[in-house]
């Protein structure tokens, strides 16, 4: 599925649109003065079509996949989106009516009046738009941001790689993906997310890491981050939780296990994976392994150890649709 905002055409913001009109007017000529002024104000109407098109292309929030709805909620109040699209629409309708009225006035005016009427019309329409400028510009900015959310496809089964910073999340994403993962920015996090794909022949699976999202205790999170977790929860998939059992681990066994237990509460299948087994710290390894009740995989993402076994297990799980039906 395409990002529903991917193809939306972003129109110029209010002042830019007005400037396009003002700059163009002197260049528009016609054989008679009246025809020229009508053509000039018609040019404004044409520009306003960009706003009409934008409004009609803007996806209906209630029809969006919950992943996108939650992503929008991170950036904006959904009610404000509706209010601003409404304000933009009314601004356009009102402006078009004004232009139609002035066309008639110019037709029945004398030549001397026509130029004054044209200028009056441009002024009125610009005021109508400026009165709604904050809303119009805000909703255009929002669409610009949403258009960029293009790599995560919420309709694909997804392997979500979680775990504290520096445990090897982006390494495993790149090691198990068929092609080089894309780098995407999302409103959930200031960090970049890696998005890769695995093609099993039967199924296309998406793999993402979650820097800045599923990597810290919930108690340290702000409202936006909690919404980010909601967005992630709406992806159809399983979580691979990476532990770092190496000598270079930045986190104690307790810190890692506490986070693991929190992630398990997200109501998704969570597979515990002990990474960096090539540089195993016996104490850390034993402490973590001893506390995990579930079957834990042991891998080295960097050296490629244990990845096939893990991947086969995950793919079978997804193919059995145990998680697709959740
Ligand atoms: P992220 O912050 O969780 O995405 O972690 P990265 O994937 O960026 O990896 C952090 C560091 O750990 C990098 O220096 C990697 O080279 C290293 N690393 C990742 N996997 C392994 C592994 O299996 N063994 C060892 N020894 N180092 C690893």
CA 302–ligand 1 middle distance (angstroms)? 7
- The model's confidence at residue 302, banded by pLDDT at 50, 70 and 90, is very high
What is the predicted pLDDT for the residue at 186? 72
Among candidates 123, 94, 103, which has minimal Cα distance to 38?
103
CA 113–ligand 1 middle distance (angstroms)? 74
CA geometry: angle 313, 183, 181, nearest 5 deg: 40
d(CA 299, CA 206): 20
- The model's confidence at residue 74, banded by pLDDT at 50, 70 and 90, is confident
End-to-end Cα separation, the chain, in angstroms: 20
Q: What burial class does residue 7 get, using C-beta atoms within 10 Å of its C-beta: 0-12 exposed, 13-18 middle, 19+ buried?
A: exposed
Contacts of 290 (CB under 8 A, 6+ apart): none
Q: Which atom of ligand 1 is nearest to the CA of 246?
A: 26
What is the predicted pLDDT for the residue at 221? 74
- The model's confidence at residue 326, banded by pLDDT at 50, 70 and 90, is very low
pLDDT exceeds 90 at position 148: no
Look at 292 and 234; give whichever has higher pLDDT. 292
Q: Which atom of ligand 1 is nearest to the CA of 165?
A: 2
Q: Which atom of ligand 1 is nearest to the CA of 299?
A: 23
What is the predicted pLDDT for the residue at 150? 65
Q: Which atom of ligand 1 is nearest to the CA of 163?
A: 3
CA geometry: angle 172, 267, 59, nearest 5 deg: 80
d(CA 24, CA 40): 8
Mutating to test ligand 1, I would choose from 251, 302, 304, 310 the residue with most ligand atoms within 8 A of its C-beta, which is 302
pLDDT exceeds 50 at position 155: yes
- The model's confidence at residue 191, banded by pLDDT at 50, 70 and 90, is confident
Domain ranges of the chain: 14-147, 158-319
CA 173–ligand 1 middle distance (angstroms)? 11
CA 278–ligand 1 middle distance (angstroms)? 11
Pocket of ligand 1 (CB under 6 A): 165-171, 209, 246, 275-276, 278-279, 300-303
- The model's confidence at residue 224, banded by pLDDT at 50, 70 and 90, is confident
CATH of domain 158-319: 3.40.50.300
CA 271 to centroid of chain Cα atoms: 27
pLDDT exceeds 90 at position 42: yes
**pLDDT digits over 262-286, tens only?**
999 888 999 999 999 999 999 999 9
pLDDT exceeds 50 at position 323: no
What is the predicted pLDDT for the residue at 325? 52
- For atom 10 of ligand 1, the residue with the nearest CA is 166
CATH of domain 14-147: 1.20.120.1190
Query: Could you tell me how many residues make up the chain?
Result: 326
* Mean pLDDT value across residues 4-20: 95
What is the predicted pLDDT for the residue at 1? 59
Q: Which atom of ligand 1 is nearest to the CA of 303?
A: 23
Strand pairing report for 182-185 and 204-209: unpaired
Contacts of 21 (CB under 8 A, 6+ apart): 43, 44, 47, 122, 126
Q: Which atom of ligand 1 is nearest to the CA of 242?
A: 3
d(CA 185, CA 68): 14
pLDDT exceeds 50 at position 190: yes
Instruction: Provide the whole-model pTM.
Output: 0.76
pLDDT exceeds 60 at position 310: yes
- The model's confidence at residue 159, banded by pLDDT at 50, 70 and 90, is very high
* Mean pLDDT value across residues 292-318: 95
Token pair, residue 235, equals 């992806």
Token pair, residue 55, equals 């409004």
Q: What average pLDDT does the structure give for the chain?
A: 91
- The model's confidence at residue 217, banded by pLDDT at 50, 70 and 90, is confident
CA 88–ligand 1 middle distance (angstroms)? 48
> What percentage of the chain exceeds 90 in pLDDT?
68
């Amino acid at each position: 599925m395409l990002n529903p905002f991917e193809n939306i055409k972003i129109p110029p913001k209010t002042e830019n649109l007005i400037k396009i009109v003002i700059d163009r007017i002197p260049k528009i000529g016609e054989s008679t003065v009246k025809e020229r002024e009508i053509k000039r104000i018609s040019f404004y109407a044409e520009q306003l079509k960009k706003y009409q098109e934008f409004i009609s292309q803007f996806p209906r929030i209630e029809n969006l996949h919950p992943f996108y709805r939650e992503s929008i909620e991170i950036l904006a109040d959904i009610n404000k989106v509706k209010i601003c699209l409404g304000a933009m629409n009314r601004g356009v309708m009102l402006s078009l009516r004004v232009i139609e009225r002035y066309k008639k006035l110019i037709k029945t005016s004398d030549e001397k009046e026509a130029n004054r009427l044209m200028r009056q019309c441009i002024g009125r329409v610009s005021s109508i738009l400026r009165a709604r400028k904050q809303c119009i510009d805000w909703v255009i900015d929002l669409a610009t941001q949403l258009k960029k959310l293009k790599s995560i496809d919420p309709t694909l089964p997804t392997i979500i790689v979680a775990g504290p910073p520096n445990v090897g999340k982006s390494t495993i994403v790149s090691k198990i993906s068929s092609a080089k993962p894309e780098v995407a920015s999302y409103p959930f996090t200031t960090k970049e997310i890696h998005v890769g794909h695995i093609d099993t022949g039967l199924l296309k699976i998406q793999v993402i890491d979650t820097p800045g999202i599923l990597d810290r205790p919930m108690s340290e999170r702000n409202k936006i981050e909690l919404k980010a977790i909601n967005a992630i929860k709406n992806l159809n998939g399983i979580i691979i939780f990476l532990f770092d059992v190496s000598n270079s681990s930045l986190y104690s066994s307790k810190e890692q296990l506490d986070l693991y237990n929190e992630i398990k509460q997200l109501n998704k299948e969570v597979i515990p994976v002990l990474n960096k087994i090539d540089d195993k710290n016996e104490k850390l390894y034993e402490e973590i392994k001893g506390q995990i009740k579930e079957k834990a995989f042991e891998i080295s993402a960097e050296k490629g150890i244990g990845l096939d076994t893990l991947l086969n297990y995950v793919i079978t799980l997804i193919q059995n649709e145990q998680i697709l039906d959740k």
